[in-house]
């Protein structure tokens, strides 16, 4: 398929900049968001605004989505005026994160409804990578569906890896979130330790750069935590907690998760304290309050 028309559902923190990169790459993009005003920047950049997911599907060859959770994905696909009721688009590429079994069930349900293929393609890298087009994407789906989706993801990512059949991308994302979520909690603990001990926490990224303690999450989050500057969220506490909750649901006796459980507990308290929709860096405020 040459120059496919793209539809994109969900233009929030991650989806918004991803759409802008697709437009910059020369794709014709139709957008829809439950809160219509969140499409304004994409429309100003040249996207077409759809009235509903079904309207979007009627103007698209490939539909993409980056939504909050499985319930949101199910609503845009199978709810009133959903994508599943439209004949025409041939592929759905889902950048959202959810339970792998739900992904497989939704994929089978969509294929039965209108014949669309499915690629689960959750992303990593946060809003900076979404903006720069350097996301890391781990994908699941048939070899044929992935081959059709891969070139469409090139403007969005520095790396796209086909991990296997449907659900494999989501399972790999859970692995990513175990590492990322636990690292975020540890970085918050380390920065709070430094601040309480009289160390200049604003210099930690400089001092530890290149050593074993260094990492991309550390470089991005430690300065925000050190100065308690939480504007322009990299990702919210609620989104990370959602993914770690999914890890706990999917894991079993063969996969003990002591570190993940500790990170989950910290993030759950942060949400209870009112930080759910704030930047993930705000978990340091919860630790500060425990002092």
In a domain, 97, yes or no: yes
In a domain, 104, yes or no: yes
Residues 42 and 119 in one domain: yes
Residues 119 and 216 in one domain: no
Residues 158 and 206 in one domain: no
Query: What is the total count of domains within the chain?
Result: 2
- Reference 264, options 240, 288, 286, 282; nearest CA is 240
pLDDT in tens, 116-165: 999 999 999 999 999 999 999 999 999 999 999 999 999 999 999 999 99
Question: What token pair was written down for 170?
Answer: 């989501």
Residues 155 and 243 in one domain: no
C-alpha Rg value of the chain to the nearest Å = 20
Residues 48 and 186 in one domain: no
Q: Where would I find the H helices in 197-215?
A: 204-208
d(CA 21, CA 259): 36
Instruction: Point out the catalytic residue in the list 173, 216, 242, 288.
Output: 173
Residues 115 and 218 in one domain: no
DSSP string across 127-172: HHHHHHT-EEEEEES-HHHHHHHHHHHTTTEEEEEEEESTTHHHHH
Per the rule left: phi > 0, alpha: psi between -120 and 50, beta: everything else, 19 is alpha
Percent of the chain beyond pLDDT 70? 100
Mean pLDDT of 179-192: 98
In a domain, 1, yes or no: no
CATH of the domain at 66: 3.40.50.720
CATH of the domain at 280: 1.10.1040.10
Percent of the chain beyond pLDDT 90? 97
pLDDT at 253 (0 to 100): 81
Residues 40 and 123 in one domain: yes
Domain end residue (candidates: 165, 194, 222) = 165
Residues 128 and 67 in one domain: yes
In a domain, 102, yes or no: yes
Mean pLDDT of 24-28: 98
End-to-end CA distance of the chain: 58
Residues 186 and 280 in one domain: yes
Range of the domain at 283: 171-290
User: Distances from the Cα of 117 to the Cαs of 63, 107, 170, 208, in angstroms?
Assistant: 10, 7, 16, 46
User: Distances from the Cα of 286 to the Cαs of 29, 196, 228, 240, in angstroms?
Assistant: 41, 14, 12, 15
Domain end residue (candidates: 128, 145, 165) = 165
- Is 173 one of the annotated active-site residues of the chain? yes
d(CA 200, CA 79): 52
Domain end residue (candidates: 135, 165, 195) = 165
Q: Beta partners for 136?
A: 124, 159
pLDDT in tens, 248-289: 999 988 899 999 999 999 999 999 999 999 999 999 999 999
- pLDDT over 50 (residue 1): no
In a domain, 121, yes or no: yes
Residues 156 and 243 in one domain: no
User: Distances from the Cα of 190 to the Cαs of 66, 139, 155, 255, 266, in angstroms?
Assistant: 32, 33, 36, 26, 14
Residues 154 and 24 in one domain: yes
Per the rule left: phi > 0, alpha: psi between -120 and 50, beta: everything else, 272 is alpha
Residues 240 and 124 in one domain: no
In a domain, 269, yes or no: yes
Residue with tokens 């048939």: 142
pTM of the model: 0.93
């Amino acid at each position: 398929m040459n120059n496919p028309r793209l539809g994109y559902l969900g233009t929030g923190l991650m989806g918004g900049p991803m759409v802008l990169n697709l437009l910059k790459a020369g794709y014709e993009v139709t957008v829809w968001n439950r809160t219509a005003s969140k499409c304004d920047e994409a429309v100003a950049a040249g996207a077409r605004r759809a009235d509903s997911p079904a309207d979007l599907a009627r103007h698209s060859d490939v539909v993409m989505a980056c939504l909050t959770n499985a319930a949101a994905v199910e609503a845009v696909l199978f709810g009133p005026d959903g994508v599943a009721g439209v004949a025409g688009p041939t592929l759905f590429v889902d950048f959202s994160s959810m339970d792998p079994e739900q992904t497989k069930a939704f994929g089978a349900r969509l294929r039965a409804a209108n014949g669309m293929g499915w690629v689960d393609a959750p992303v990593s890298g946060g809003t900076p990578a979404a903006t720069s087009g350097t996301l890391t994407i781990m994908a699941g789906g048939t070899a044929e569906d992935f081959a059709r989706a891969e070139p469409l993801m090139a403007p969005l990512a520095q790396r796209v890896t086909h991990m296997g059949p449907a659900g494999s991308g989501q399972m790999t994302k859970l692995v990513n979130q175990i590492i990322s979520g636990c690292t975020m909690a540890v970085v918050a603990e380390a920065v709070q330790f430094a601040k309480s001990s009289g160390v200049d926490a604003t210099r930690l990224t400089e001092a530890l750069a290149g050593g074993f303690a260094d990492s991309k999450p550390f470089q991005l989050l430690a300065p925000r935590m050190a100065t308690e500057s939480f504007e322009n969220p990299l990702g919210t506490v609620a989104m990370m907690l959602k993914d770690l909750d999914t890890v706990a649901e999917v894991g079993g006796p063969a996969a003990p998760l002591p570190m993940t459980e500790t990170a989950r507990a910290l993030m759950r308290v942060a949400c209870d304290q009112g930080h759910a929709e704030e930047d993930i860096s705000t978990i340091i405020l919860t630790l500060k309050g425990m002092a």
